[in-house]
Structure 1
Amino acid sequence: MGLSTAWVAWSCYRMKRSYNTYPFTSSKHKMKHKTHQYWLFFLLCAAGILAGCRQEFFPPELGEPIPAATFPELLETLPETGYGTFRVIWERSNVKQLIADEYVKSDLTYLIPDDAAFANAGYTSASVNGMAAADLDTLLLAHIVPGALHVARLPTGSTLALNSLLSIPDIAITTARVSGQDQIARPYVFQHHLFKTADGIMSNGTALVVNDEADIRNGRMVLIDKLIPYAKKQMIDIMREDDRFSLFLAAADLNIAIRIPVYETYSTLNNSVYLDRARYEYHYIPPGGAVPANRLISLAQFTLFLPTNEAFHQVGIYTEADILALSQRADLDEVATAPRAQQRTAKTALEKVFHLHTLRGASTSNFTLNYELANRPVYVEITNSFNNVTASPFFFQHDLRPDVSQTTELRPYVVGQQSGRVTVQAASSAYPPATITESLMTLQGPVHVVDRLIIEEGVEL
C-alpha cells in the first residue's frame, strides 16, 4: 500500500470516529454532518486511487548509448613483420589454451621480444619448430605478468616487483606439515624486478628498450628488444661451473665440515637445522637422498655477493691451504670460545669474514642508481627470523611494495656507484668497496659477482 492510500484510510477512520463521538444536539445537524462526511469520503478515496496509480516521469533518452571500449586480440595487434618467431612459439605452445581456461577474466601484460631478440638468444622460426611444447610454454610464461602494465606511465626511477605466470610446481618456497609429511604450500614463481629508466625498463638487471605498447582485449602488449633471462640454475651450479669462484666454493665446503660436529652435538645430521644450514650457506636444495623421506626442503631465497678468486688475492688468500689457515685463526673464531648453548649462533672464523656476502631474501641490482632522482630504488627491510650465522641480521630487497616506506636506508651496507657500476661496502669498514661486475639470476635469487670481499668493520686479515 502506498503512502497516499494509507493516509486516506486513516482519514476515513478518523472521520467515522469523530461522527460517532461528537456531541451533536440535533438529529438534523447529525444528518447534515453525515452528508458532508460521505462527500468528503468519496473525494478522499478518489484522490487515494489516483495517487496509487501515479507513475514517475522520466524524460526520453537522447542520442545513442555509449559503446564499451573494445580492443583486438593479441595477434591482431602484433605488427605483421618483425615478430614471426613469437607467432610460431605462440601457436605451437599450450599457453593460448591455458590463458583461455584460467585467465579469461584477467588482465595480463605480454612482454614480447622481436625476431632479432629471439635470434640473438638462439631462437628462430625454424628452430622452435623442433622444440617441445613444454619448453615453449616456459619461455612464454616467463614473459607474461598479471595486470595491465603501462610502461610509459611509470615515473623514471620507480621500481616494481611482479610475479610472472611461470611457476615450477615441484619446487617449494614454503612447505606445510600435513599428517607427518611435508607438502608444498607455495611453489616457486619466477619474478620480475622492474626498474623504470629514461629509455625503457630493466628487468632483473637486463636493460630493455620498449619499441611500442598497446591495449589488447585482455590487457597490454609491450614490445621489447631482448629476451628476459629466467632462472634455470641454483646458486651452487654457478659456483661449481665457473673456476673464477673456486676459492669461495672451497670456503663454503670447509665451513660446513667445521659446522657438522657442532650440529652432531645437538641433533642428527638429518635434523632440519642441519638441512637449513646447507640451504643458507651452501646455496642449494640438498638432493633427495640426503633428505628424510617425510621431509620436503623449501627453496631459500637469497641475494649473494659472489667474490671472484681475484677478490681473495687482494687480501692475501691464494690457495685452499690459505682458506684452511684462515679457518683456524683463534682471533676470528667465536664458536671455539662460545658457551655450548651459543655455539650454533656464534660465528666461525670463516663466517666472520664471509657472512655479509649472503643475504636472506632476493634482490637485484639495476646498475643505474641515480641518487639525484626523487624516486630512487626502494630497499625493503626484512627481519631475519632464523639464527643463521652466514646471513645478515637485516635484508633489504630491491622492490616496490605499497606497505613499506620508500625511505628505508640500506644497512649494514653502503651502496654507491662508480663509473656507471654499483658498489657495495660494509658500513664503516676500512676495506674498499666492492664493485658488482655482473648479475646472474638463479632459482634462489640474484648472484652479484663482486671484485672485492665485503668485510665488516673490525675484522682484520
Structure 2
Amino acid sequence: MKQFLYSVLSAAVAFAAIAGCKNKLAEPPEESLYQTILSQQNRGYSLFVRALERTGQSTLLSNSPSVTAFVPHDSAFERAGFTEAVINSMDTTSLSVLIGYHLVGETVTPANFTAGGRIETRAGYYLYTNRNDGIYVNNIPVSANYLAAANGVMLPLTSVLIPPQKRIYDVITADTTFSIFSAAVFRDSARRILLKDTFNTGSQFTVFAPTNNAFRRIGITDVTIRDTNLIKADSVSRMVRQHYVANATLMSHDFINGNMVKTGLDSTLVLVTATDSRFGASAPAIRAVTRPDTTLYRLKTRDLITVNGILHSIDSLMTRRR
C-alpha cells in the first residue's frame, strides 16, 4: 500500500513539474526586440547593435509594436567591409539605409517565407524569400531557429543584406554585354515598365536578358536592332516582352521542376532545375513550351537583385513560334 501511495505521489509531482515547465514556456517574452538583440552582443552581434545606436533605430526596435530584424553576425559585417571603424565613420544616411534593409515593419518568421515571396523593408526596398530547397532571404540561408521578443523577432544571418542600387534598365544599360538587348528595350515601351515610374507603384519583374552573343547567333547586331527598316517595332516589342515575367520575382531557388510562368508576351515558360534529368539540365534553366523541341535556355548569370526585381542572363534568344 505504501509503495502504491509513493508511486501515485511521485507521478503527481512529475506531472506538476511538467505542467509548470509548459506554463513557463508558454509565457510570452517580456523584453523588447532591441533588448533581445542587445543581449546577444557578446555572442557576436555587437556591430549590428552599434549601427542601431548610431542611426537611432534602436528606438524603433524598442517601441514599435511589431518588427523583424535580420541580424548579421559580426564576422559577416567584417567580410563585407563593415568593420567597427567603418560603421563608426559612415554617414548616418547611408548607414540608415543599410540597417533599414535589415528591418521589416511586421513580425516575419521563417515559417512565413514563401517561394518567390518578397517583403518590404524599412529602407523601402524589397527582400526576396525562397523556401523550395531550403529557407533563404536574398539567397542567404536562414535558420529555422530565431529569437522571439515582446514586439518581434530576431533572425540571425551569416551574410549582410546589401540594398540594391540600380533598376533593371540601369543594369542592362551599363553592362556592355547587354547592349543589343538594351537597345531593343529602349525602342520598346517596355523601357517604361523597367524604369522607376512603374517601380513606384510597387511593380516587380523577373528579366531573362539575352547576351549580345545570343542576338548575334541569329544575325542581330547593335546596328540592325536600331534600324527601323530592318526590324519593325512590333518585332522588337515581341522580342523584349518574351524575356520578362511581370509581377513575379523568381530567383534560381524558386525554380521548381515543371513550374510554369507567363512572360510579358503571354508565352509560357517552364522552370527547370538541376535535378530535372528529362531535359538534361545541369543547372537552373528555362524552357519555352511554345517551341516544338525541348531546347533549354540556361542561365549564364543569375539572381542579380535590383531595385525593381531580379535579373538573370541567358545565352540564347527565346523566340515564340505561333
What's the TM-score once normalised by structure 2's chain length?
A: 0.75
- Secondary structure of 1:210 counterpart: coil
- Secondary structure of 2:273 counterpart: strand
Alignment partner, residue 320 of structure 2: 456
Q: 1:359 aligns with which of 245, 260, 268?
A: 245
Instruction: Verify: 1:446 aligned to 2:300, yes or no.
Output: no
- Secondary structure of 1:80 counterpart: helix
Q: 1:191 aligns with which of 126, 129, 142?
A: 126
Alignment partner, residue 38 of structure 1: none
Alignment partner, residue 222 of structure 1: 155
Decide which moves more: 92-101 or 348-357: 92-101
Alignment partner, residue 75 of structure 2: 116
Q: Which string of whole-angstrom CA distances, capped at 9 and with x for unpartnered residues, describes residues 112-150 of structure 1?
A: 111222122221111111111122221122112244333
Alignment partner, residue 222 of structure 2: 320
Q: Which amino acid in structure 2 is aligned with residue 121 of structure 1?
A: A
Q: Which string of whole-angstrom CA distances, capped at 9 and with x for unpartnered residues, describes residues 158-200 of structure 1?
A: 5643222222xxxxxxxxxxxxxxxxxxxxxx222311255x5
* Aligned residues of 1:427 and 1:457 also touching (Cα < 8 A): no
Decide which moves more: 111-120 or 90-99: 90-99
Q: CA deviation at 1:250?
A: 2.2
Instruction: Verify: 1:164 aligned to 2:50, yes or no.
Output: no
Separation in 2 of the partners of 1:370 and 1:78? 37
Q: Which amino acid in structure 2 is aligned with residue 82 of structure 1?
A: G
Instruction: Verify: 1:86 aligned to 2:35, yes or no.
Output: no
Separation in 2 of the partners of 1:367 and 1:197? 6
Separation in 1 of the partners of 2:112 and 2:308? 28
Separation in 2 of the partners of 1:320 and 1:159? 34
* Aligned residues of 1:71 and 1:215 also touching (Cα < 8 A): no
- Cα 1:250–1:150 change in 2 (3 A) is closer
Separation in 2 of the partners of 1:378 and 1:217? 41
Q: Which amino acid in structure 1 is aligned with residue 273 of structure 2?
A: Q
Q: Which amino acid in structure 1 is aligned with residue 218 of structure 2?
A: V
Separation in 2 of the partners of 1:159 and 1:235? 18
Q: Which string of whole-angstrom CA distances, capped at 9 and with x for unpartnered residues, describes residues 70-109 of structure 1?
A: 34322344251322221221111121224445x2x22x22
- Secondary structure of 2:121 counterpart: strand
- Secondary structure of 1:421 counterpart: coil
Q: Which string of whole-angstrom CA distances, capped at 9 and with x for unpartnered residues, describes residues 297-356 of structure 1?
A: 857533221111122233233x3223246x535xx75xxxxxxxxxxxxx6122233321
* Aligned residues of 1:279 and 1:300 also touching (Cα < 8 A): no
Q: 1:244 aligns with which of 168, 177, 190?
A: 177
Instruction: Verify: 1:391 aligned to 2:264, yes or no.
Output: yes
Separation in 2 of the partners of 1:230 and 1:440? 12
Q: CA deviation at 1:368?
A: 5.8
Separation in 2 of the partners of 1:420 and 1:78? 41
Task: For structure 1, list consecutive stretches of 5 or more residues without a partner in the other structure.
Answer: 1-62, 168-189, 257-275, 287-296, 334-346, 382-389, 394-410
Q: CA deviation at 1:455?
A: 1.3
- Cα 1:193–1:314 change in 2 (3 A) is same
- Cα 1:197–1:424 change in 2 (3 A) is closer
Separation in 2 of the partners of 1:98 and 1:371? 42
- Cα 1:299–1:217 change in 2 (3 A) is closer
* Aligned residues of 2:166 and 2:306 also touching (Cα < 8 A): yes
Over the aligned positions, Cα root-mean-square deviation in angstroms equals 3.3
Q: CA deviation at 1:456?
A: 0.9
* Aligned residues of 1:285 and 1:299 also touching (Cα < 8 A): no
Q: How many residues align?
A: 286
Instruction: Verify: 1:415 aligned to 2:271, yes or no.
Output: yes
* Aligned residues of 1:412 and 1:426 also touching (Cα < 8 A): yes
- Secondary structure of 1:320 counterpart: coil
Alignment partner, residue 425 of structure 1: 287
- Secondary structure of 2:140 counterpart: strand
Larger Rg: 1
Alignment partner, residue 310 of structure 1: 213
Q: Which amino acid in structure 2 is aligned with residue 417 of structure 1?
A: T
Q: CA deviation at 1:430?
A: 4.5
Alignment partner, residue 25 of structure 1: none
Q: CA deviation at 1:237?
A: 1.7
- Cα 1:364–1:228 change in 2 (3 A) is farther
